[in-house]
A and B are shown apart, each in its own frame.
Chain A
Amino acid sequence: MKSFLTLQTNTNPESQIPLGLKMRITLIFGLLFLCQLSWSQGSELVKLDKLQQLIQGEKQQIQVVNFWATWCAPCLKELPLFEKLNGERKDVHIRLVSMDMDLDPDPEKVRKFVVRKKIQSEVLILNERNPNQWIDKVDKNWSGALPATLVINNKTGKRKFVEKELHEGDLEKLIAEVQ
């Protein structure tokens, strides 16, 4: 124990670094830490009210909301279409809303999935119980089956809802239809 302490005081590198540099290093590490934090804490839990506020609040971009889950094979098949559009179109805001918590109370599985798959689009995790009370609020025509996609243009007031797996070109078509 004693030798460990002496070793530490003898080789303390910080004492040789000027104060300004030390502050800058702390700042850089602090920023890195915050980045890490926001990366791992992305995929925020939301209630439906909050989700609706987010979607309705934006007039400049067309709102695309994809309802998906990590267990849903057709959802994962269509996921690259949303990712591609998210990278290409600045006039479109993509939100991938995970329904995983309806079956599994632990949201970490979704967050790990998002990191592992390097998903760039905004991911939200819907934290609601009893779907019978809120599915109609998303769209009257939604049975609750996944995947489902909602496209809204708040400028024109037009909206499109589809309850099926999308294929190449489908998303662009839906967006054109609400222009």
Chain B
Amino acid sequence: MKRMFFYIAIVFAFVASAPIKNGYEVGDTASDFALKNVDGKTVSLSDWKDAKGFIVIFDCNTCPYSKAYNERIIGLNKKYASLGFPVVAINANDASESSGDSFKEMVSYAKRKGYTFPYLIDETQAVAKAFGATNTPHVFVLNRAGNDLKVAYIGTIDDNARNASAVSKKYVEDAVDSLLTGKTVANTKTKAIGCGIKWKNS
């Protein structure tokens, strides 16, 4: 019994001393994941053998910002999938907090919008936490470096949520264009107003 307490104390000390890390920073290596897609199949980033990188977007069905950006997200995949940077959308919202984000609703939303990219459910929210996603839509551009996927950009899609035709800075497109032409990404981190991810028991 005493020994057990000792081990618990050691584990506790270890956990307590570990630095608190809130997701990825630019330059970090992203871990792969295995999440269920709206077609029922499990998807991992390693499924794309030839991808130069990814545009991972934490998104959802219900947030007005997600709705405002929906066409632009579809457009990103249309433009960049063939260039080696496909969009991978992930919904981490807890369906008990946001019923419109249930798997069933995701399936019909993807169908209605004609998604040509995976729309994955992060039921345990472990992937959103690993990435440090906070809101929707929240973009992480990953760039392949050997066997690793390095985080090259974190933030919002562009500088005008309200009006797609009045955008002056296309942050995600600029980042991917830079990666495609071997330049350094100028703007690696941006912020935007958005809906907070609906965490479990929060």
Contacts and interface: CB of A to CB of B under 8 A. Distances in A.
A97 to B, nearest CB: 11
A69 B194 CA distance: 10
Contacts of B202: 164-165
Given A103-B64, A103-B65, A132-B191, A144 B161 contact: no
A128 to B, nearest CB: 10
A72 B159 contact: no
A145 B162 contact: no
Contact of B162 (A71, A104, A135, A165): A104
B75 interface: no
Contacts of A164: 196, 199, 202
Interface string B95-107: 0001000000000
Given A163-B134, A164-B202, A144 B162 contact: no
A129 B196 CA distance: 19
B64 A144 contact: no
Contact of A131 (B68, B193, B195, B196): B193
Tell me if B's interface is mostly helix, strand, loop or mixed.
loop
Contacts of B162: 102-105
Contacts of B134: 143-145, 163
Interface in B143-164: 155-156, 159-162
- From B98, B161, B193, B197, residue with most partner A Cβ within 10 Å: B193
Given A105-B162, A145-B135, A131 B65 contact: no
A74 interface: yes
The interface centre, meaning the residue of A99, A102, A132, A135 with most chain B CB atoms within 10 A of its CB, is A132
Contact of A99 (B159, B193, B198, B199): B193
B196 A103 contact: no
A144 B191 contact: yes
A47 to B, nearest CB: 15
B64 A131 contact: no
Contact of A71 (B64, B156, B198): B64
A59 B192 CA distance: 31
A3 interface: no
A74 B64 CA distance: 14
20 contacts: A69-B193, A73-B98, A99-B193, A103-B64, A103-B68, A130-B160, A131-B191, A131-B193, A132-B192, A135-B191, A135-B192, A136-B191, A144-B193, A145-B134, A145-B193, A146-B194, A147-B196, A163-B134, A164-B196, A165-B202
Interface of B: 64-65, 68, 98, 134-135, 138, 155-156, 159-162, 190-199, 202
